[in-house]
Amino acid sequence: MATDPAELGRRLRDGDRSAAAAALNVIENRGERDATRALLSEVSPAALEREPPAHVIGITGPPGAGKSSLLSVLVSEWRNRQRTVAVLAVDPSSKRSGGSLLGDRARIDHDPRDDGVLIRSTAAGGRLGGLAAATREAAEALAPAFDVVVVETVGVGQSDTDVEDVCDTVAVVVQPASGDVLQFLKAGIMEVPDLLVVTKADLGDAAKRSRRDLTHALAAVGSPEVPVLAVSSVPSPSGIGELVDALDAHRDGTDLAERRVRARRGAALREFTAEHGERALRDLGGRREAERLLERQDPAAGVTALVSALEAAR
Amino acid sequence: MATDPAELGRRLRDGDRSAAAAALNVIENRGERDATRALLSEVSPAALEREPPAHVIGITGPPGAGKSSLLSVLVSEWRNRQRTVAVLAVDPSSKRSGGSLLGDRARIDHDPRDDGVLIRSTAAGGRLGGLAAATREAAEALAPAFDVVVVETVGVGQSDTDVEDVCDTVAVVVQPASGDVLQFLKAGIMEVPDLLVVTKADLGDAAKRSRRDLTHALAAVGSPEVPVLAVSSVPSPSGIGELVDALDAHRDGTDLAERRVRARRGAALREFTAEHGERALRDLGGRREAERLLERQDPAAGVTALVSALEAAR
């Protein structure tokens, strides 16, 4: 039975979470842009006539920082507070290695019979913003049907994911004594997040020192107001209730409508330019065909000459 | 007196290093693409009728890893070996913060009267590959006139710089106990470099442990052949001669002609798509005009509708 994308969109708009998995399949199938458009037009902010109700939260940080363990306990805290949660776990490494990391890495624990929770892993897409667009669209589609939508990504603020474009609140998760994150923050290479979370608080002094160092680094980059929290997921969770409260406080203290409008405008500009770049490649018969065309050129040709050859072939 | 770009290109091709600074001015002025093209056509591989003679080396790593101190001693080691050196220090942070980091960070020491050395700092360019293109062009222009061209960048293999596209040999520099770099490498997010350099070898055990951990991480990602070196720049240099030997060994063991042809083809594809994206923006009257156009749309409009509005305005 074929599923009508617009129908899926309407069901999500009306809060029917059982439409979520099928909707994500439509969105992830990047070949069927019309189906995605039909689906999203039903759940878009205009159709809802209000901002989407979910709080969209980005959880990002280097691999090994403990994001999956943290999300396992965060999801149960939200469920204890009677909130429904969707987690979109994005894996940027698959772009480079060809395979996905997600098989190897820690899973997010949850009760599979609980229909108030959806966990979805997404391999990264193409180079030109495909990932960012699919993630944004997935979050947009799920927003009317869940109380919280989490976008989990790996990175230190340089990722192609542009998690800032998608999320109302961005939390960067680091483990104690992760010096690079501190350096990236101080050097202005890493975007200042809305919230910093130091994991493995059970390590005691190391977590305390990291928390202090990060607080100083944030003051040094002119953002002393960013909260730095210390949490522990295993063996026994601590600081999780405080983290949920801090996420809520950021949401309540932010003009979300304005932030979302700005984010959508930025995303539209980026999608427009990426799309035109891809269109130029399609005019050549696709990326593979363009590569073949380049291989037929003089091996000594410089980049400028190769670009001219591509232009001539359009 | 206006400087003829083609003349500058011819002087560089003939090994005249005194043309280097003026040539870099032409290349960095991204508005004058024709002048850059005229300059590069004189030094391009086709015009040289052989591969450029310089060994183009990428030195990359997180801020604070000691890249500048290392380059100071590396430059003197190369000069002791009678090699001329150009260093292009790229600063990606200026893209985000608006200002450049270079004022704050450690300088590369060199004798300003020695015309065998050129040190040039470059602020990052626009979002769509401007930096990568300018850096590649600068390295290409300087290659006939110097024995070694170094491209120094900040990052852990995720940078927009695409240093792999530009360099014959890429060395990643890390300080001891930088866990994130290890994690990024294991997770496949960081490109495997040609060489790993652990700085601050004078710290003893910490450097030894990092060297061992990185060697294991490289074996785990299927690249046990990548050398891991420990060096010290201050207070007294050690391991620098070995590093220069290892860089030379990589150059001698690599089919540079093939690597350069492949890199130029990759760069051409990326420049072609980025250029078409920018062209679509120019058709709208430029980025600022496109932003104004988006501000005139319904604030509740979704990204899809905003992209359609941009298309309609073309």
Residue A275, domain member (yes or no): yes
- Same domain for A195 and A241? yes
pTM of the model: 0.86
- Closest CB to A101: pick one of B128, B187, B273: B187
Residue A207, domain member (yes or no): yes
Residue B309, domain member (yes or no): yes
Query: Which of B223, B255, B287 is the last residue in one of the domains?
Result: B255
Distance from CA of A239 to the nearest CA of B (A): 24
Whether residue A306 and residue B264 make contact (CB cut-off 8 A), yes or no, is: yes
- Same domain for B165 and B289? no
Per the structure, the complete domain to which residue A295 belongs is given by 267-313
- Same domain for B92 and B201? yes
Look at B301 and A35; give whichever has higher pLDDT: A35
Size of interface A-B (CB pairs under 8 A): 209
- Same domain for B89 and B230? yes
- Same domain for A108 and A191? yes
- Same domain for A150 and A295? no
- Same domain for A227 and A302? no
Residue B174, domain member (yes or no): yes
Residues of A in contact with B277 (CB under 8 A): 272-277
Distance from CA of B159 to the nearest CA of A (A): 7
Whether residue A188 and residue B306 make contact (CB cut-off 8 A), yes or no, is: no
CATH number of the domain to which B160 belongs: 3.40.50.300
Q: How many domains does chain A have?
A: 2
Distance from CA of A187 to the nearest CA of B (A): 7
* Percent of chain B surpassing pLDDT 90: 50
- Same domain for B73 and B110? yes
A152 close to A67: Cβ distance less than 8 angstroms: yes
ipTM of this complex prediction, to 2 decimal places: 0.79
Residues of B in contact with A180 (CB under 8 A): 62, 156, 178-181
- Closest CB to B278: pick one of A273, A299, A302: A273
> What was the pLDDT predicted at A154?
82
Residue A150, domain member (yes or no): yes
**What is the mean pLDDT, run by run of 10 residues, along chain A of 314 residues?**
85 94 88 85 74 87 89 96 94 49 61 91 56 81 94 71 82 85 80 91 86 92 93 92 98 91 88 90 92 92 88 90
Residue B97, domain member (yes or no): yes
DSSP assignment of chain B = -PPPHHHHHHHHHTT-GGGHHHHHHHHH-TT-HHHHHHHHHHHSHHHHTS--SSEEEEEEE-TTSSHHHHHHHHHHHHHHTT--EEEEEEETTHHHHSS-STTTSPPPP--TT-TTEEEEEEE---TTTHHHHHHHHHHHHHTTT-SEEEEEEESSS--TT-HHHH-SEEEEEE-TT-HHHHHHHHTT-SPP-SEEEE--GGGTHHHHHHHHHHHHHHHHTT-TTS-EEE-B-SSS-BSHHHHHHHHHHHHHTS-HHHHHHHHHHHHHHHHHHHHHHHHHHHHTT-HHHHHHHHHTS-TT--HHHHHHHHHHH-
- Same domain for A273 and A180? no
- Same domain for A192 and A286? no
Residue B75, domain member (yes or no): yes
Taking 70 as the threshold, does the pLDDT of residue B132 lie above it? no
Q: What is the DSSP letter of A108?
A: P
> What was the pLDDT predicted at B131?
59
- Closest CB to A187: pick one of B93, B180, B278: B93
- Same domain for A176 and A278? no
Distance from CA of A64 to the nearest CA of B (A): 7
- Same domain for B216 and B158? yes
